[in-house]
Amino acid sequence: MIELPIIISELKAQLSRAIRDSSQEDLHFELGPIELELTVTVTEEVSGGVKVRFWVLDAHGETKAATATNHRIKLTLDPRLSSSGTNPWVSGKSFDGER
C-alpha cells in the first residue's frame, strides 16, 4: 500500500515537469481539473495517541491491520500556479499509439 500524500506528491512532480517542458513546445494545453478515483484503506493506530492514515491500495488489495476499512474516494484537484493563481499550461511529446 502507498500513502495518499505520496500519490499526490508524485502527481505534482509529474505535472511540474510537464509545465517546465511546455516552455519549449509550440502547442500548449490549459490544465483543468484533475479527477482521481482511488480505493483507499483507512487505518487507525492507537499507540501513542490516535492517528488516522489513508493508504492507496496496490494491485493486491491486501491489508493486515485489524482496524482497517476500505473506501473508494474521488478527489478533484484544480491546479493553480502559485505565482499567478492561474491554471498552468502543459505540453509534451506524443508517443506511438497515444490518443
**Each residue's pLDDT tens digit in the chain (99 positions)?**
788 888 889 999 988 888 888 877 777 788 899 998 888 887 776 666 666 667 776 655 555 545 677 888 898 999 998 899 998 888 766 667 765
Closest CA to 1 of 70, 43, 61: 61
Closest CA to 10 of 29, 32, 40, 36: 36
The DSSP bridge pattern shows strands 51-56 and 34-45 to be: antiparallel
Closest CA to 77 of 38, 34, 19: 34
